[in-house]
Structure 1
């Protein structure tokens, strides 16, 4: 089968912009290609127009274009025209797109279109309880209406999206995002830097990073030597219009606490594993997510994790068995869970071991690739259902 993905990002050294969406698509594409499927990646809004051969996976970078009027329409039609040409030339059987800002609104393909709920603007605005631009909802609704079927990385994300877009009569299949188990191994989980807390992800309000200063202060009241390491890109803050969420965070830390905070910014993906290995506890206090790729990566590396307890997280971690689930705004309990782990090394090992087992059971990309293939085949040939 020849499968195409239309995406705003993809994990590759030549592509500057890539986060959870890019990583999850890369993992899936690699596993699908390994099982003898042809894969084409269309990445839009790129600074250059080029084709990259990534170990047999064809990556088409579609250069961004500017128009005097209605660029939101004409650029979409340009993407459609380009993809349609390649679809015909390469005999592509199905195309999958991300839901963000409804990129496939106004597009018409002669092959089935599947949309994966990586997280639409509609979804995130709902979770964050903030007002959405009407234009963004309109684009996303149009894109949803044109799709034949949908894949959700968690049942929670699927059910919320179904309700928000009033989806009826179309299949929504839950298939988790996954990772290559061999690529995330920690052969010495007993070795870590004590009393270190690691956060990985964009510094943005919806990820709960503005909760960390108070949580960190409470932990340092018990363990003054505690260090907090932050890895990820800085971002604009939508609530205060601040250009830097990191600057907002800095102003929230006490002066003494800030001396123990180290912000590394965005670092190469291949360096992140070393920081995960060194961490005593990993924290992900996010308010809005569909799954959380870095969470399952840390779980695979046998890390003790204190995660958000909202919806999707309950499909990743079993609370008090393979990690801890705490609401990000419950600073007292969040800090208490970290302190509990700092005090009990055997508990750190126990949760880490169970976290790895959980990933092996639920998030092995090779098993999930088979589920994706079955789903695609059912959409292409609805009268010949596979199991």
Structure 2
């Protein structure tokens, strides 16, 4: 079977599925912006496409998002046309459609089945919008309209896609009927054979080496920003450092913005909240706070292996892989009591949940667990068992994903909408 993957940053969420399908003998190809030259990666033919820059044009600000998606869709369409001229015809196309790349691919190959990775449908009501009153839009009514327009790309794909794939029920359930019934909930998978604890882990940090004997608290964002609770964590930090005089705080994440509002020009959310709390923290305590930036994956895993307690906070939004990886490492977890977390964590069984905005309660729960080794061990063991039973890559998720692809290939292909 000819299988075409579409992802601007391939492999992304398809890094395991694409390789597994190639290993089964399928002819697997990927179109992506990530590479500049054709390459072969673990049996997958990876082909580049480029987006042509256009001259400035006047657009309503609410349409900028859709304009960028149509631009990528057009570029991917032309790359697909060239592949078709070379005799290439995919049986199945699997796309992360969030950037618009797959908008016009069935216009090139109308008989191909299209499956889309359904990361999120943008809901304009609370708590998806207006969850955090501190970062409310100056015009909430107009913001709701802008958010609704972000779904134009989703709706255009509903007409051409035969099936969807979503990693969590929370994400799938944001999508409206009738397309929701076409979405299978299968997580990307956690490689629990690799992501597992190691009591002997050692972690170099400046001129010292941390081990499991040290009291290490970890906090991870892709980028340090309010959407992932960075502001709440930082506001809890002065009290946490006072309460835990031996704790080392390891913070991983970049300085940019992945989600939500951008910081004021010339500033970063990271520095804004450092500046807010720094005056409350003595120098000797601040020396125990370590901003690691973005680190290689193997070092990231060692950091989680080292962690005595992991803190994870998020708005009602896409669940981070890092939370599930921390659970697979048998970390004791204190997390926000928000909808995505309730799917992954049962309170006091596989972690502890606290109100997202309650920094004092966060510190109280963290300290209670740090003082209770049997509770940490119980929660950590149950967390890993839950990941193994529910999110394991090789035994649970990847086999289900392959079944999903095979079922997609058998679906009837309706004519394109006129």
State the TM-score, normalized to the length of structure 1.
0.84
SS in 1 for 2:174: helix
Partners of 2:95 and 2:115 within 8 A in 1: yes
Root mean square deviation, CA, Å: 2.9
The equivalent of 1:245 in structure 2 is: 269
The equivalent of 2:153 in structure 1 is: 139
Pairwise CA distance, 1:35 = 4.3
Pairwise CA distance, 1:113 = 1.4
Number of aligned residues: 367
Pairwise CA distance, 1:293 = 0.9
Question: What CA distance in whole angstroms lies between the structure 1 residues aligned with 2:158 and 2:264?
Answer: 30
SS in 1 for 2:187: coil
The equivalent of 1:177 in structure 2 is: 188
Partners of 1:308 and 1:326 within 8 A in 2: yes
The alpha-carbon distance between structure 1 residues 206 and 103, as it changes in their structure 2 partners (threshold 3 A), is farther
The equivalent of 1:28 in structure 2 is: 17
2:46 aligns with one of 54, 59, 63: 59
Question: What CA distance in whole angstroms lies between the structure 2 residues aligned with 1:59 and 1:233?
Answer: 28
Question: What CA distance in whole angstroms lies between the structure 2 residues aligned with 1:302 and 1:226?
Answer: 19
The equivalent of 2:409 in structure 1 is: 380
Question: What CA distance in whole angstroms lies between the structure 2 residues aligned with 1:185 and 1:211?
Answer: 29
Work out whether 1:225 is the aligned partner of 2:246: yes
| 1:338-377 mapped onto 2 (5 Å cutoff) | 338-366=366-394, 367-377=396-406
**Could you tell which deviates more after superposition, 184-193 or 333-342?**
184-193
Q: Deviations over 1:291-342 (max 9, x none)?
A: 3211111111111112233222222222211222223212232222211121
Partners of 1:197 and 1:229 within 8 A in 2: yes
The alpha-carbon distance between structure 1 residues 265 and 381, as it changes in their structure 2 partners (threshold 3 A), is same
- The runs of 5 or more residues in structure 2 that have no matched partner are 58-66, 131-136, 138-142, 202-210, 413-418
**Could you tell which deviates more after superposition, 68-77 or 297-306?**
68-77
Question: What CA distance in whole angstroms lies between the structure 2 residues aligned with 1:134 and 1:127?
Answer: 12
Partners of 2:217 and 2:247 within 8 A in 1: yes
Q: Deviations over 1:36-58 (max 9, x none)?
A: 444333223x4x53222112122
**Could you tell which deviates more after superposition, 271-280 or 58-67?**
58-67
Pairwise CA distance, 1:146 = 2.5
Partners of 1:3 and 1:95 within 8 A in 2: yes
Question: What CA distance in whole angstroms lies between the structure 2 residues aligned with 1:258 and 1:238?
Answer: 28
Structure showing greater radius of gyration is: 2
| 1:92-131 mapped onto 2 (5 Å cutoff) | 92-108=90-106, 109-110=109-110, 111-119=112-120, 127-129=128-130, 131=143
Work out whether 1:49 is the aligned partner of 2:26: no
Question: What CA distance in whole angstroms lies between the structure 2 residues aligned with 1:91 and 1:144?
Answer: 22
Partners of 1:203 and 1:235 within 8 A in 2: yes
State the TM-score, normalized to the length of structure 2.
0.78
- The runs of 5 or more residues in structure 1 that have no matched partner are 12-21
Q: Deviations over 1:69-116 (max 9, x none)?
A: 677535422202323544774543211222424433344342111111
